[in-house]
Structure 1
């Protein structure tokens, strides 16, 4: 590439690493270095793979249970020998092409591919051979990505630098397991062998190529370090992903951000492997439940062809159009549930109306599985505790479009990234936060409804409808989150401020009590310490903290003020008191001014203190009160025990005509009663459940009148350990102590909502349901005897 055409704004990170003289020629050299090292080593590993294919297939042929199977393995050996060079060349071309597209920024994330099937090839969840290959590649890629997390993360970051700061992930790294698995799969399509032989070849690719990638990544990383690319990148990764930071928390360091990004990058790999296992299990359970029989109307003709995809899709389209108006009236989950149960019969009836001979034709076993699987998915949705009933009813209307998707696109249940699946998950995730109280203007409800109606009205056979609607809905959610985040931050900051104020009051009250509780003091001294001086201590704590000199000086004043009020019996005590009084007056005036004590009140107080000290110095007896008597008087006189001291953040200064605010309650130092809660042990399961909650978790609270409010855990106080909950708009709903929330969980008036995406939870539930039916069927068939 011509450096003269380079844009003038070079990425800062690149400037720091390579200096101002670095240009695209330099970048091209580095990519060529990576390509040369990696492809040379990877091609060597592929050669080793093919050198071992003969031995592997020969061993299997010797152990074959029949001549036919043995012949297939021998035929596979001959086919691999014949086309080995072609496949190796195609693999090299694909790998080299990936580097070219990567350099141009055109490399797309590698996804498992399934060859489109002819329309008359019959209907199935996914063509068996294509599905087996897709799952084999997905599984080996997921395992490799998990194993190579550290090296891959470092490699991704360095590749990002040398292409000018573009985002590089496992999915678009040209030498990551996903890209190599994709390239190899495209190449081995040249082998005309059965699926078992291909699976053996894939296993050998996993054993010899995927297993040998780590030294290659290490070598590439070392060479890039020598070239000056991110030499200081950290080598350790956190064990898990990072929880959202509460508002006001300092931002982490760049190194911490990089490690957190690594944890996020590699989380999908394990999920991908698990997804493959779940789907494989699901297919097996469906097949065992079916028992090898096809679903057909009674009297169906023998030897007639099965119902074609065109028959089923045509019938579904008619049902979709006919039912839009009727289903739009379904205002409850019960109505939608009835529609789920009726759809299978309605579908067959509609097919029969379209064609006379269709009455004698049967639905294939795989097609019936598709219909039943989508039906079970929507039955789960309509029972999902995570979703409010109103949202359940909306999503339940999507059964027909999703059945059409399952017929048209075989990836729906096999791939987490399928747009229709992601749209359903996004709608459910947004719906999880919905409640009447938080959505009075019905913006969220109407937006979910609009998405449902868009799919119902626009989807015929273009799966792209789901991708476009997903982008539109996600944009709506993002805009809402920006507004909600601001409100949520304000709620957390307000709660944090109140708790700091309450904690400062407790500490101040404790310090004052330590100095007066065992002494009989004059009322004027009690009044100064328990009211304006306690306010002053609160303000110092909020502004400077307990380690400040001002705090220590304020406590020293309290100690000396208490000493000054004690009877003086010796001349030395009188001398010390006379010397101390000007200092006490100066400190007291400063403290009173800080808490906005009114001038007239200051003058009156100083007159009272002057008279008091004159009597002390003259040896006269003065009236005193015990701490208990003062506390009782404070409790009776304090109008608002929760008011903030004048000058505190969020406080309103007292008008000149009023007395200073009396906020310190010396009987306990507490200003806010706790919510009554059961006494639960620390190892109680509900207490453990509360302590395990993470910021971002959603809870449904049920009021005495069965009013339901959904709230998100927004912040956990480091002072009181209280949990702050906000609604979907970021507005505060409540705050709870651990004990109070655990008590509500035990009573059922609070329910923790699941964080796993809807589609994943539904598949898990369907697998469990089919497993249970599979395990109980033999026992039921055996009978009581």
Structure 2
């Protein structure tokens, strides 16, 4: 097993609170950080005590001595590990919550497994272990973390605090521990034992740590009124204090908590009924006071009531008629009252004066407002919205017969609507494979409009069918997307290696005479040898290949002394031997190899002949000695001698020549051609929007003068590229970060909101009703 790299660089981290170019953290944030660090320090020391016992037991139970050595090393470095961990975590706060927000992604880079196929087996095991710890710890504490994030966001004025840059997140805790543990030169099995104990002793106690941080903020008056819900910890540690952490409320829940319904209009649900309906009815009633509206309270006289069963029957007939008529009213919210009046033969005035009853009236208003939002939403494609519009009457019927529809996020009708909308985000009419999804959505809506009367179980059956369909489609898309991603990662690695080879050859050849024979070998053979060695990432192989290239250039320089001539003659066989090895590495044709060596031999003979003539015809004291060409001492004395550097004192200074045609020619990247904005003109908001994009995010991107729905398949960190694919996983475009920010700034990139459509619509309706109430 190869040695791991255990290099710790604290050159830029002398002060954990503030880096160069960053603003100091607010005092309350520093104090909250110290509360967290205090808890982590205590738990880390407890963990190291247990690790000492575990490793000792393993070494005493017949395991090899590596566990005993690991135990001894851990004892020696325990204190420095804790210090390094604290320094790393403090640095995370400075990087992510200071003004220099461009460090955010780098902070999480160590926790990314995008290039998992390129690491060694031990690194892979370590990465998988850490990745699992992060996911589990965050899943347990998601609500408390959201509460911390919200409070941090109120204290940090320079930027928005998100999950990605919140240093209290388990990802940053684990990343800091991983970096600190790099100084432990121990076997992977012992390291995994330490990681397991870190999870069991430290991460399991994060629940209590986050409670203490939130309580600190509450004591300091930072959003003390945020509500909490009980949340059961997935860690079962009998030694930890029993505790129910805070939980972030959804916008609807917060509205309910802050707007108790003291008096509900006639027909509303009772105290045991649905609070969401009660709240919306209350807000509707209060917003109507003093204004026009369809309400029974404002009418005079006695109006014959239309009972709910009669109303349901009328809505079913309207639903069937609309299904038969097709999509004539696409993207338009229906005037349900007029349709009901026409269906029942009831005068419109009676409908408007409360014939439907207050509860039914409110349901019509609420569902109409919901579909106003849905059909105005820019994230769902218009063709999908035209299908969703046909579900207005069915969803109204669901609300009439099942009052949990508005409060139960797991209601099958609600989830089905969200899933159809989610499919609509990725749907692109230019994608030939998208027609199948459109037809499936249409068939589901047809089934609802034709067969749904009052049994909501139909939505559960259709939801299961649609999820199975989407899973089948998604499996194929995932395969293509994974292949695209792997190809782009390989391409990025190859481009990086290609650039290094080009720079290396340019440095070797600069200011040197390069005859055609040497140029031929470098350009057609040795550039590929260097490229392969760079891809293999073996230091010895790469350095040796570079030395051969340097020796080749050295042997074709003019010689001006007898000593230089003698060394040249002795080095040529060494060069030819190593060149032949390179020919074998790239499987060069023997015919081409022989031709190249013969041409090189002719060049060497000419150099030797000129040197001999010059030495014979000139006096020794007149021999011109010029600056030697630089050479790197050889690390393989058996094949390449290390004294070429000394002999270069005899080489003549040659006027600098163009060597741009030696190496790889620049290749087109396939990036979409755009009118790029100068970097100076890019706004911080545009750069931040691009930085916040994460793999899997759907966007609308202008390609060839047309907008297409694309998903961000990968962010290639080594080349700073963003790779976009369509819903089938086929590559659509690639951009450098700055070019993509420019696209966003001029409106050619639109980031789509993938949050549940029904939930967003419901929150918008309640917010609008509250605004209407405040205006009365």
TM range (shorter): 0.5 to 0.7
**2:336 aligns to what?**
343
Q: Counterpart in 2 of 1:118? A: none
Identify the match of residue 592 of structure 1 among 579, 583, 589. 583
- Structure 1 residues 304, 453: CA separation in 2 closer, same or farther (over 3 Å shift)? same
Paired with 1:513 and 1:433, the residues of 2 have a C-alpha distance of: 46
The structural deviation recorded for 1:580 is 1.4
Q: Distance in 1 between matches of 2:113 and 2:337?
A: 48
Shift of 1:592: 2.3
Matched position secondary structure for 1:725: strand
- Correspondence 1:128-527 to 2 at 5 A: 246=114, 248=116, 250=124, 252-254=127-129, 256-257=131-132, 259-264=134-139, 267=142, 270=247, 273-278=250-255, 282-291=280-289, 295=294, 302-303=301-302, 306-326=305-325, 328-330=326-328, 335-338=329-332, 340-353=333-346, 362-440=355-433, 442-527=435-520
SS at structure 2 position matched to 1:398: helix
Residue 555, structure 1, aligned to residue 546, structure 2: yes
Against the structure 1 CA distance between its residues 671 and 562, is the aligned structure 2 distance closer, same or farther, given a 3 Å change threshold? farther
Q: Structure 2 matches for 1:732-747, cutoff 5 A?
A: 732-747=731-746
Shift of 1:291: 2.3
Q: CA deviation at 1:514?
A: 0.5
Alignment CA distance shift 1:521-1:266 (3 Å): closer
Alpha-carbon distance in 2 for matches of 1:768, 1:300: 27
Q: What is the TM-score normalised by the length of structure 2?
A: 0.59
Contact kept in structure 2, 1:702 and 1:750, CA below 8 Å: yes
Inter-CA distance 603–253: structure 2 relative to 1 (3 Å threshold) = closer
Provide closer, same or farther for how the CA distance between residues 412 and 476 of structure 1 changes in structure 2, counting only shifts above 3 A: same
| Cα displacement (A) at 1:526 | 2.7
CA–CA distance in 1 between the matches of 2:568 and 2:321? Answer: 97
Query: 2:523 — aligned with what?
Result: 530
Distance 1:760 1:278, change over 3 A: farther
Deviations along 1:592-625, one digit per CA (max 9) or x if unpaired, are 2322332222112111111222222233499999
Deviation string for 1:664-683 (max 9, x for gaps)? 13xxx665486451123576
Q: Offset at 1:630? A: 4.2
2:565 maps to 574
Distance 2:351 2:357 in 1: 13
RMSD: 3.6
- Match of 1:728, SS state, is coil
Report Cα offsets for 1:514-545 as digits up to 9, x if no partner.
01122223222233223321121111112x21
C-alpha displacement of 1:337: 3.8
- CA, structure 1 residues 379+244, in 2 after alignment: closer, same or farther (shift >3 Å)? farther
- CA contact 2:327–2:387 (8 Å) conserved in 1: no
Structure 1: which 5+ runs fail to align?
Answer: 1-149, 151-235, 635-661, 779-785
The count of corresponding residues between Structure 1 and Structure 2 is: 500
Report whether the alignment pairs 1:717 with 2:701: no
Query: Deviation at 1:353?
Result: 4.8
Question: Aligned residue for 1:162?
Answer: none
Aligned to 1:607: 598
CA displacement, residues 329-380 of structure 1 (integer Å, 9 cap, x when unaligned) = 33xxxx3344x24223212443455999989862333322211110111111
Distance, in Å, in 2 between the alignment partners of 1:467 and 1:540 is 58
Q: Mean alpha-carbon deviation: is it higher for 257-266 or for 506-515?
A: 257-266
For the residues of structure 2 that align with 1:762 and 1:680, how far apart are their CA atoms? 38
Change (3 A) 1:748 1:294: closer
In structure 2, distance between residues paired with 1:245 and 1:727: 23
Task: Please give the TM-score of this superposition, normalised by the length of structure 1.
Answer: 0.58
Structure 2 gaps, min length 5: 1-38, 40-88, 94-103, 118-123, 144-228, 230-246, 257-275, 615-651
Distance (Å, rounded) in 1 between the aligned partners of 2:562 and 2:440:
85
- Contact 1:698/1:710 (8 A) holds in 2: yes
Q: Which moved more, 1:579-588 or 1:695-704?
A: 695-704
